Structure formats: C-alpha cells, structure tokens
Amino acid sequence: MSAFSGVNAPTSQSLLNYILLALVYGGIMIYKGQHLTVKWYYYLILSIVDVEANYIVVKAYQYTSLTSVMLLDCWAIPCVLFLTWIFLKTKYGLRKLFGVGICVAGVVLVVFSDVHASERKSKGPSPLKGDMLVIAGASLYAVSNVTEEYIVKKSSRIEVMAMLGVFGAIISGIQISILEREELRSTEWNASAVLPFIGFALAMFLFYSTVPIILKICGATMLNLSLLTSDMWAVLIRIFAYHEKVDWMYFVAFAGTAIGLIIYSYKGSREAAEDTAQVTGAIDEEAATENRTAAERLPGAGEDDGPDSNKTTSEAATSR
C-alpha cells in the first residue's frame, strides 16, 4: 500500500515497529528490574539480520510481482531446516519432511493458479533483480528465525523483544539517514501515506510479540510453515477486497497447505510428552529467572531469611 501511495522507504516502514517493541518491552524490563541473561552482541547480530531482511524483502516489491514474492519467500523453509539441523541439532523424520513438501507444493499451486487464470498482468520493472532480493531476504529471515529461537530458549521473551526493539531502532535510524533521507523529505505526508505506515507498524508489533512464543514451543520450521498460510489469506483479500477472480486451484492449494501443516505438527504420544515436558521446563526456568531478579531487588532479603529462620527453629525447639 505504501508503494501504491508513492512512498518507497522500506526501513522507515519497520522503524516504528522497533520503537514500539523498545518502549513496551523495554519499559517492562525496567519496571521488573531485569538484567540481561544473554550477551548484548547476540541481540546486535539478530537485529542487523532482522532489519536487513525486512528491508530487502520490502524493497523487492518494487521490482517484481506479488506472486513471485509469495513463491520465492518459501526459500526460507529449506534454509531453516538446514540451519536448525546444523546449529540446533534438530532432527527431522521422513514424516516431517513429507509435510514440508506438501506445504511448499500448496504455495506453488497458488502461483500456478495465477498463471493459469492469466492474472499476472505485470511482472514488475526488473523481475530478476526482485527475485534475487527475495531469495536473499528469505535467507536472512531464516538466519533471523533460527538465531531468535536459540536466544529465546536461553532468555525471556520480554528481554528478546526489548533488545531487538532497541538495536533494531538504532540500526534502522542509521540506515534511514543514509538511504532514505531524500525519499522521506520528498514525500507528501497525507492520510494515504501515513495510515499504511501506522497499520504496518501495529501489525508487525503484534506479529513480533507472538513469534518468540511460537519459537519456544514449536521452533523456527513450524513458524515458517505456518506463515505459508498468509499467502492463502492474501488471495482471499484479493477476492473479497479487490473483487479479483481466482482459479479453482487456489482452493486445492489451501487444503494442501493445511494438510501439510497437520502432517508436520502431528506427534505421537511419546513426542507429545517430551515436548510438553520441554515447554513446561522452559516456562518454569523463565519464571524462576524472573523470581530471582525480583528477589535481588529486595535489599538484604537473603541475609534476613537465614537468621530469622534459625531463630524460629530454635524457639520452636525450646517451646517443645
């Protein structure tokens, strides 16, 4: 929508989201008196990758079609599979790989439905350049998701969001001053230009807030597979909002993606028990970390507990 309004500032679109993350979750961290449990440079690396992934993919929309972005964005899935297998030691059985294949095939059908229905009227001014940008951005998204999964399992969700917001806002601000200064200066800031920025920022804030929960419970692969359904909803919007005709293969594709997600996420009783124990342990560990942080805020709490408890014990013994 911003591109349609004549605003081509990808980094600026993400800046407000990072500011919201920093203010909301950073404020919670300050209120609770939490300290960093992960080194700051991990968050710096995560933020750089995340900012550039957003920039590259949004930039690609200027050069290629929405359909190409929908298809090539699936490149993040094999990248996530490879990275989690190498660095997080995640094991994938044949059933999970089969489910991944069905999900990707469903999205490919969406693209074929566009071609079959002759709806792809414009390929963009520079399709090859746009396609290469999408592939690069999808690769960075995979790195970002896997890195965030690694970090979120070692710290709290609030800490991850706060630090991603702080570093993301700083990096975005620097990049805007270098690459998008003239674009913002020449933009006519009316309602049609401002509202898409605000809507995008709020949507991204809600999305970013839920990602750590999904990563902690399901992992980066399940997250990216679930995001494939967004391509399906995009087609629904085209039908009802823009009154475009969609080929019948779209409905087959939607069903295929849903079936693929079910196959991938299906777990036997043993797998379900192990995952439940793992998630419960992670939640208990995060709660324990927050309790320790809260206890540290109380001066002399640990010193008072010892003598008082000993005194109480001795008094009880004397009374007996």
Query: What would the mean pLDDT of 177-191 be, rounded to a whole number?
Result: 84
H helices present in the chain, as ranges: 10-32, 40-60, 66-72, 76-87, 94-116, 127-152, 157-175, 181-186, 191-217, 220-240, 249-265, 269-297, 301-319
Q: Are 168 and 21 in contact (CB under 8 A)?
A: yes
Domain that holds residue 229: 10-181+199-294
Do the domain assignments include residue 81? yes
Answer whether 150's CB lies under 8 Å from 80's CB: no
Does any domain span residue 132? Answer: yes
* pLDDT of 9 above 60: yes
**Mean pLDDT lowest for which of 1-15, 32-46, 126-140, 256-270?**
1-15
Q: What is the pLDDT of residues 90-142, one digit of tens each?
A: 888 898 889 888 888 877 776 666 555 544 555 567 777 888 898 899 999 99
Asked whether residue 106 is assigned to any structural domain, the reply reads: yes
Top-confidence range, 1-15, 24-38, 289-303: 24-38
Cα–Cα distance list, 76 to 89, 139, 291, 308 (Å): 18, 6, 37, 57
pLDDT at 317 over 50: no
d(CA 96, CA 10): 35
Planar angle of CA 273, 229, 89, nearest 5 degrees: 40
Q: Is there a domain that residue 308 lies in?
A: no
> If you search the block for the tokens 């999964």, which residue do you land on?
149
Counted domains in the chain: 1
Poorest-pLDDT segment among 53-67, 111-125, 294-308: 294-308
Looking at the domain assignment, is residue 188 inside a domain? no
Residue 310 falls inside a structural domain: no
What are the pLDDT digits (tens) for 44-56? 999 999 999 999 9
311 domain residue, yes or no:
no
- Please give the sequence-ordered ranges of beta strands (E in DSSP) within 134-238, or none if there are none: none
Residue 28 maps to a domain: yes
Is this prediction's pTM over 0.85?
Answer: no
